[in-house]
Structure 1
Amino acid sequence: MIKVAMTGVYVDDVAAAHAFYTGVLGFETRTHLDLGGGTLFVTVGAPDGAQRDLQLLLEPGGGPVAEPYRRALYEAGIPCIVFSVDDLHAEYERLRALGVRFTHPPQEQGPVIAAVLDDTVGNLVQLTQPKG
Protein backbone atom coordinates (compact mmCIF):
# COMPACT_ATOMS: atom_id res chain seq x y z
CA MET A 1 0.00 0.00 0.00
CA ILE A 2 1.31 3.45 -0.92
CA LYS A 3 0.53 6.40 1.36
CA VAL A 4 1.37 10.07 1.12
CA ALA A 5 4.10 10.72 3.68
CA MET A 6 5.02 14.31 2.94
CA THR A 7 3.99 17.17 0.72
CA GLY A 8 5.54 20.58 0.47
CA VAL A 9 4.56 24.20 0.24
CA TYR A 10 6.94 26.86 -1.07
CA VAL A 11 7.35 29.78 1.32
CA ASP A 12 9.10 33.18 1.31
CA ASP A 13 10.85 32.53 4.62
CA VAL A 14 11.06 29.09 6.25
CA ALA A 15 11.52 30.44 9.80
CA ALA A 16 8.54 32.82 9.45
CA ALA A 17 6.47 30.02 7.90
CA HIS A 18 7.38 27.72 10.79
CA ALA A 19 6.27 30.37 13.29
CA PHE A 20 2.95 30.90 11.45
CA TYR A 21 2.12 27.26 10.84
CA THR A 22 2.89 26.28 14.45
CA GLY A 23 2.11 29.41 16.46
CA VAL A 24 -1.01 30.51 14.57
CA LEU A 25 -2.42 27.52 12.69
CA GLY A 26 -1.53 25.09 15.50
CA PHE A 27 0.59 22.47 13.74
CA GLU A 28 3.40 20.68 15.60
CA THR A 29 7.03 20.68 14.53
CA ARG A 30 8.02 17.23 13.26
CA THR A 31 11.49 18.02 11.89
CA HIS A 32 13.67 21.10 12.34
CA LEU A 33 17.18 20.70 10.95
CA ASP A 34 19.75 23.37 10.22
CA LEU A 35 21.46 22.20 7.05
CA GLY A 36 24.02 25.02 7.20
CA GLY A 37 24.38 28.14 5.15
CA GLY A 38 21.06 29.48 6.41
CA THR A 39 19.13 26.51 5.00
CA LEU A 40 16.50 24.91 7.20
CA PHE A 41 14.66 21.63 6.67
CA VAL A 42 11.37 22.02 8.54
CA THR A 43 8.27 19.84 8.55
CA VAL A 44 5.06 20.27 10.53
CA GLY A 45 2.08 18.01 11.14
CA ALA A 46 -1.29 17.86 12.81
CA PRO A 47 -1.09 18.25 16.59
CA ASP A 48 -3.01 15.06 17.26
CA GLY A 49 -1.20 12.97 14.64
CA ALA A 50 1.40 10.31 15.11
CA GLN A 51 4.93 10.89 13.82
CA ARG A 52 4.07 8.72 10.81
CA ASP A 53 1.16 10.93 9.73
CA LEU A 54 1.38 13.23 6.76
CA GLN A 55 3.96 15.99 7.15
CA LEU A 56 4.06 19.38 5.46
CA LEU A 57 7.52 20.46 4.29
CA LEU A 58 8.06 24.23 4.43
CA GLU A 59 10.27 24.67 1.37
CA PRO A 60 12.26 27.75 0.39
CA GLY A 61 10.32 29.29 -2.48
CA GLY A 62 12.69 31.76 -4.09
CA GLY A 63 14.07 29.57 -6.86
CA PRO A 64 13.52 29.99 -10.60
CA VAL A 65 10.80 27.33 -10.68
CA ALA A 66 9.15 27.91 -7.30
CA GLU A 67 8.80 31.69 -7.37
CA PRO A 68 6.85 32.00 -10.66
CA TYR A 69 4.67 29.03 -9.64
CA ARG A 70 3.83 30.51 -6.24
CA ARG A 71 3.22 33.97 -7.64
CA ALA A 72 0.92 32.62 -10.37
CA LEU A 73 -1.16 30.65 -7.86
CA TYR A 74 -1.40 33.59 -5.48
CA GLU A 75 -2.32 36.11 -8.18
CA ALA A 76 -4.98 33.74 -9.53
CA GLY A 77 -6.44 33.33 -6.03
CA ILE A 78 -5.71 29.59 -6.00
CA PRO A 79 -4.84 28.02 -2.64
CA CYS A 80 -1.59 26.04 -2.63
CA ILE A 81 -2.98 23.54 -0.12
CA VAL A 82 -6.27 22.61 1.55
CA PHE A 83 -6.64 21.78 5.24
CA SER A 84 -9.73 20.30 6.88
CA VAL A 85 -11.18 21.51 10.16
CA ASP A 86 -13.99 20.24 12.36
CA ASP A 87 -15.67 23.63 12.88
CA LEU A 88 -14.79 26.13 10.16
CA HIS A 89 -16.73 29.03 11.64
CA ALA A 90 -15.02 28.67 15.02
CA GLU A 91 -11.59 28.33 13.38
CA TYR A 92 -12.30 31.36 11.20
CA GLU A 93 -13.14 33.48 14.26
CA ARG A 94 -10.11 32.18 16.21
CA LEU A 95 -7.73 32.99 13.36
CA ARG A 96 -9.26 36.40 12.67
CA ALA A 97 -8.78 37.26 16.35
CA LEU A 98 -5.08 36.42 15.86
CA GLY A 99 -4.88 38.84 12.94
CA VAL A 100 -5.00 36.32 10.09
CA ARG A 101 -6.18 37.87 6.82
CA PHE A 102 -8.82 35.94 4.90
CA THR A 103 -9.41 36.51 1.20
CA HIS A 104 -12.89 35.10 1.58
CA PRO A 105 -14.91 34.12 4.64
CA PRO A 106 -16.60 30.76 5.13
CA GLN A 107 -19.03 29.98 2.33
CA GLU A 108 -20.63 26.91 0.84
CA GLN A 109 -18.76 25.37 -2.07
CA GLY A 110 -20.40 22.16 -3.26
CA PRO A 111 -20.11 19.51 -0.54
CA VAL A 112 -18.03 21.69 1.82
CA ILE A 113 -17.90 25.02 3.59
CA ALA A 114 -14.62 26.74 2.71
CA ALA A 115 -12.59 29.84 3.57
CA VAL A 116 -9.26 31.05 2.21
CA LEU A 117 -6.50 32.72 4.23
CA ASP A 118 -3.15 34.33 3.49
CA ASP A 119 -0.34 32.42 5.23
CA THR A 120 1.90 35.54 5.38
CA VAL A 121 4.72 33.76 3.50
CA GLY A 122 3.43 33.96 -0.06
CA ASN A 123 0.51 31.55 -0.22
CA LEU A 124 -3.21 31.23 0.00
CA VAL A 125 -4.47 28.32 2.10
CA GLN A 126 -7.99 26.91 2.03
CA LEU A 127 -9.75 25.59 5.12
CA THR A 128 -12.69 23.24 4.57
CA GLN A 129 -15.36 21.49 6.57
CA PRO A 130 -17.80 18.94 5.12
CA LYS A 131 -21.40 20.20 5.09
CA GLY A 132 -23.88 18.45 7.30
Structure 2
Amino acid sequence: MKIHMTSVFVDDQAAALRFYTEILGFVKKHDVPVGEADRWLTVVSPEEPGGTELLLEPVGHPAARTYRDALVADGIPLAQFAVGDVKAEYERLRGHGVRFTQEPLEMGPVITAVFDDTCGNLIQIATEA
Protein backbone atom coordinates (compact mmCIF):
# COMPACT_ATOMS: atom_id res chain seq x y z
CA MET A 1 0.00 0.00 0.00
CA LYS A 2 1.22 3.52 -0.75
CA ILE A 3 -0.16 7.03 -0.74
CA HIS A 4 -1.16 7.90 -4.30
CA MET A 5 -3.03 11.16 -3.74
CA THR A 6 -3.96 13.58 -1.01
CA SER A 7 -5.84 16.86 -1.20
CA VAL A 8 -6.11 20.40 0.04
CA PHE A 9 -9.43 22.24 -0.01
CA VAL A 10 -9.15 25.47 -2.00
CA ASP A 11 -11.45 28.45 -2.47
CA ASP A 12 -10.49 29.04 -6.11
CA GLN A 13 -8.93 26.31 -8.24
CA ALA A 14 -7.41 28.69 -10.81
CA ALA A 15 -5.76 30.80 -8.09
CA ALA A 16 -4.61 27.64 -6.31
CA LEU A 17 -3.07 26.30 -9.51
CA ARG A 18 -1.15 29.55 -10.01
CA PHE A 19 0.13 29.55 -6.40
CA TYR A 20 1.07 25.88 -6.29
CA THR A 21 2.85 25.97 -9.67
CA GLU A 22 4.25 29.49 -10.04
CA ILE A 23 5.19 30.11 -6.40
CA LEU A 24 5.72 26.66 -4.86
CA GLY A 25 7.08 25.06 -8.03
CA PHE A 26 4.78 22.07 -8.42
CA VAL A 27 3.80 20.88 -11.91
CA LYS A 28 0.23 20.40 -13.15
CA LYS A 29 -0.50 16.71 -13.78
CA HIS A 30 -4.27 16.43 -14.36
CA ASP A 31 -6.81 19.09 -15.29
CA VAL A 32 -10.14 17.46 -16.15
CA PRO A 33 -13.48 19.31 -16.07
CA VAL A 34 -16.01 17.78 -13.68
CA GLY A 35 -19.37 19.46 -13.49
CA GLU A 36 -20.06 23.03 -14.46
CA ALA A 37 -17.25 24.88 -12.70
CA ASP A 38 -15.06 22.30 -10.94
CA ARG A 39 -12.03 20.44 -12.21
CA TRP A 40 -10.11 17.30 -11.25
CA LEU A 41 -6.93 19.32 -10.80
CA THR A 42 -3.74 17.75 -9.47
CA VAL A 43 -0.13 18.84 -9.13
CA VAL A 44 3.04 16.87 -8.46
CA SER A 45 6.61 17.56 -7.51
CA PRO A 46 8.83 18.14 -10.56
CA GLU A 47 11.33 15.87 -8.78
CA GLU A 48 8.80 12.98 -8.80
CA PRO A 49 6.36 13.45 -11.71
CA GLY A 50 5.03 9.93 -11.16
CA GLY A 51 4.85 10.40 -7.39
CA THR A 52 2.10 11.39 -4.98
CA GLU A 53 -0.42 13.81 -6.44
CA LEU A 54 -1.93 16.76 -4.60
CA LEU A 55 -5.58 17.35 -5.52
CA LEU A 56 -6.57 21.03 -5.46
CA GLU A 57 -10.10 20.24 -4.37
CA PRO A 58 -12.90 22.84 -4.28
CA VAL A 59 -14.07 23.48 -0.74
CA GLY A 60 -17.75 23.25 -1.70
CA HIS A 61 -18.97 20.97 1.07
CA PRO A 62 -19.88 22.89 4.25
CA ALA A 63 -18.17 20.31 6.49
CA ALA A 64 -14.92 20.66 4.52
CA ARG A 65 -15.01 24.45 4.88
CA THR A 66 -15.73 24.22 8.62
CA TYR A 67 -12.88 21.72 9.13
CA ARG A 68 -10.38 23.73 7.09
CA ASP A 69 -11.32 27.05 8.68
CA ALA A 70 -11.08 25.56 12.20
CA LEU A 71 -7.56 24.31 11.47
CA VAL A 72 -6.52 27.76 10.24
CA ALA A 73 -8.09 29.46 13.27
CA ASP A 74 -6.06 27.17 15.55
CA GLY A 75 -2.87 27.62 13.48
CA ILE A 76 -2.75 23.97 12.42
CA PRO A 77 -1.36 23.14 8.96
CA LEU A 78 -3.54 21.01 6.68
CA ALA A 79 -0.54 19.48 4.89
CA GLN A 80 3.24 19.19 5.18
CA PHE A 81 5.78 19.31 2.37
CA ALA A 82 9.39 18.18 2.61
CA VAL A 83 12.07 20.61 1.48
CA GLY A 84 15.84 20.34 1.40
CA ASP A 85 16.42 23.46 3.52
CA VAL A 86 13.55 25.12 5.38
CA LYS A 87 15.46 28.35 6.01
CA ALA A 88 16.37 28.76 2.33
CA GLU A 89 12.83 27.91 1.20
CA TYR A 90 11.44 30.36 3.78
CA GLU A 91 13.58 33.14 2.28
CA ARG A 92 12.68 32.17 -1.30
CA LEU A 93 8.95 32.11 -0.58
CA ARG A 94 9.06 35.37 1.38
CA GLY A 95 10.71 36.89 -1.68
CA HIS A 96 7.55 35.95 -3.59
CA GLY A 97 5.36 37.64 -0.98
CA VAL A 98 4.26 34.47 0.82
CA ARG A 99 2.99 35.17 4.35
CA PHE A 100 4.35 32.90 7.07
CA THR A 101 2.51 32.24 10.31
CA GLN A 102 5.54 30.45 11.79
CA GLU A 103 9.12 31.33 10.96
CA PRO A 104 11.67 28.49 10.76
CA LEU A 105 11.71 26.71 14.10
CA GLU A 106 13.97 23.90 15.24
CA MET A 107 11.93 21.17 16.93
CA GLY A 108 14.22 18.33 17.90
CA PRO A 109 15.32 16.52 14.75
CA VAL A 110 13.35 18.75 12.34
CA ILE A 111 13.09 22.37 11.29
CA THR A 112 9.62 23.57 10.29
CA ALA A 113 7.90 26.73 9.07
CA VAL A 114 4.23 27.38 8.28
CA PHE A 115 2.77 29.58 5.55
CA ASP A 116 -0.62 30.68 4.24
CA ASP A 117 -1.21 29.19 0.78
CA THR A 118 -3.55 32.09 -0.19
CA CYS A 119 -6.26 29.50 -0.91
CA GLY A 120 -7.56 29.01 2.63
CA ASN A 121 -4.95 26.65 4.12
CA LEU A 122 -1.90 26.66 6.29
CA ILE A 123 0.94 24.52 4.93
CA GLN A 124 3.99 23.35 6.86
CA ILE A 125 7.39 22.84 5.28
CA ALA A 126 9.91 20.64 7.06
CA THR A 127 13.40 19.24 6.82
CA GLU A 128 15.50 17.08 9.08
CA ALA A 129 17.93 19.22 11.07
Please show how residues 74-113 of structure 1 align to structure 2 within 5 Å: 74-113=72-111
The amino acid across from 2:15 in the alignment is A
What is residue 48 of structure 1 aligned with on the other side? 47
1:35 corresponds to 2:12: no
What is residue 21 of structure 1 aligned with on the other side? 20
What is residue 112 of structure 2 aligned with on the other side? 114
Which SS does the other structure have where 1:89 is aligned? Answer: helix
Q: In structure 2, list runs of 5 or more residues that go unmatched.
A: none
Measure, in 1, the Cα distance between the counterparts of 2:83 and 2:105.
14
- Alignment length (residue pairs): 129
The amino acid across from 1:7 in the alignment is T
Which SS does the other structure have where 2:62 is aligned? Answer: coil
1:66 corresponds to 2:64: yes
Q: In structure 1, list runs of 5 or more residues that go unmatched.
A: none
User: Identical aligned pairs, as a percentage?
Assistant: 50
Measure, in 1, the Cα distance between the counterparts of 2:35 and 2:8.
21
Q: Which digits, 9 at most, give the CA deviation of each residue in 1:59-98, with x for residues without a partner?
A: 0113111110011000000000000100111111110000
Which SS does the other structure have where 1:65 is aligned? Answer: helix
The amino acid across from 1:121 in the alignment is C
The amino acid across from 2:25 in the alignment is G
The amino acid across from 2:81 in the alignment is F
Displacement, 1:49? 0.7
With normalisation by structure 1, the TM-score equals: 0.94
With normalisation by structure 2, the TM-score equals: 0.96
